[in-house]
């Protein structure tokens, strides 16, 4: 605007009562305000067992039928006597003491399932373990700290022993962290292709620690972990 026009506008404004002194009322938005949904309450210890998948659901995830529960998991397991390589203990088995030491976990509930009742004759073997934390934040912190620890055992081998003698040798593949789910495949040497997929993820204040073994495990452990997670958000296992 030219200076002369600006001066004229100011002069005109001085002749009009209230010009510039009473600004027009501001328009108000009619759009409703949204309040973020409160976080879900933490899962209680008494609810853990009900979040485990049924043998039928585990069988379907493994691509078979007839798997049965052959054992339970109620504590973290100490495999230090069987796996000397500390970096690989946490990918060797579910709910392993080395993995959870100092993390603040408060309860464990899980199961072993297989088809033959004898690991030497099994064609399918599964471990599903739920590890409870006091809060969702502590579960998330555990996952964040665990991801690089899994990677420490990636693309290498480790020895499992029994009574001091070599029991088997496992070749570990690359570790994936896809959308908040860790997974890795380990293959047993001299076993005609027997392999296990490990998977770990968290939801709310629970970690799902899963291993699915067969002669073609594919993404079975990841499927099981995700199905358990669906149960936490929908109120029942896998629904």
What digits encode the pLDDT tens for the residues 84-135?
999 999 999 999 999 999 999 999 999 999 998 877 789 999 999 999 999 9
Residue 209 C-alpha from the chain's centroid: 7
DSSP structure string for 106-160: -EEEEEEEESSSSTTT-SEEEEEEEEE-SSHHHHHHHHHHHHHHHHTTTTEEEEE
The Cα–Cα gap between 123 and 38 comes to: 45
224: phi then psi, degrees, rounded to nearest 5? -65, -45
Question: Per this entry, what is the length of the chain?
Answer: 239
* Cβ atoms of residues 198 and 158 within 8 Å: no
* Residue boundaries of the structural domains of the chain: 45-234
DSSP-derived 3-state class of residue 46:
helix
213: phi then psi, degrees, rounded to nearest 5? -120, 140
Q: How confident is the model at residue 22 (pLDDT cuts 50, 70, 90)?
A: low
- pLDDT reported for residue 84: 93
Dihedral (C-alpha) 187, 188, 193, 198: value to the nearest 10 degrees? Answer: -40
Question: What is the architecture, at CATH level 2, of domain 45-234?
Answer: 3-Layer(aba) Sandwich (3.40)
Counts for the chain of helices (H) and strands (E), in that order = 7, 9
* Cβ atoms of residues 172 and 96 within 8 Å: no
The Cα–Cα gap between 43 and 139 comes to: 12
Per-position b or e across 55-70, b if 16+ CB within 10 A of its CB: bebbbbbbeeeebeeb
Q: What is the pLDDT of residues 36-72, one digit of tens each?
A: 777 789 999 999 999 999 999 999 999 999 999 999 9
Instruction: Please tell me the pTM assigned to this model.
Output: 0.81
Q: What is the pLDDT of residues 23-32, one digit of tens each?
A: 555 555 566 6
């Amino acid at each position: 605007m030219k200076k002369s026009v600006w001066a004229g506008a100011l002069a005109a404004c001085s002749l009009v009562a209230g010009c510039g002194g009473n600004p027009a009322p501001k328009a108000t938005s009619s759009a409703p305000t949204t309040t973020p949904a409160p976080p879900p309450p933490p899962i209680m210890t008494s609810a853990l067992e009900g979040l485990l998948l049924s043998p039928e659901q585990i069988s379907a995830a493994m691509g078979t039928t007839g798997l049965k529960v052959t054992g339970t998991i109620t504590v973290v397991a100490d495999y230090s006597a069987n796996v000397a390589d500390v970096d690989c203990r946490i990918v060797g088995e579910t709910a392993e003491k080395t993995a959870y030491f100092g993390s603040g976990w408060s309860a464990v509930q899980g199961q072993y399932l297989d088809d033959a009742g004898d690991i030497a004759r099994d064609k399918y073997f599964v471990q599903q373990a739920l590890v409870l934390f006091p809060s969702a934040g502590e579960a998330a912190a555990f996952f964040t700290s665990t991801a690089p620890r899994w990677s420490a055992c990636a693309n290498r081998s480790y020895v499992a022993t029994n009574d001091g003698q070599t029991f088997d040798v496992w070749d570990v593949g690359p570790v994936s962290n896809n959308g908040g789910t860790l997974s890795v495949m380990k293959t047993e040497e001299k076993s005609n292709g027997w392999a296990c997929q490990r998977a770990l993820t968290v939801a709310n204040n629970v970690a799902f620690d899963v291993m699915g073994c067969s002669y073609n495990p594919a993404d079975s452990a990841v499927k099981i972990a995700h199905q358990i997670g669906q149960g936490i958000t929908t109120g029942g296992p896998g629904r």
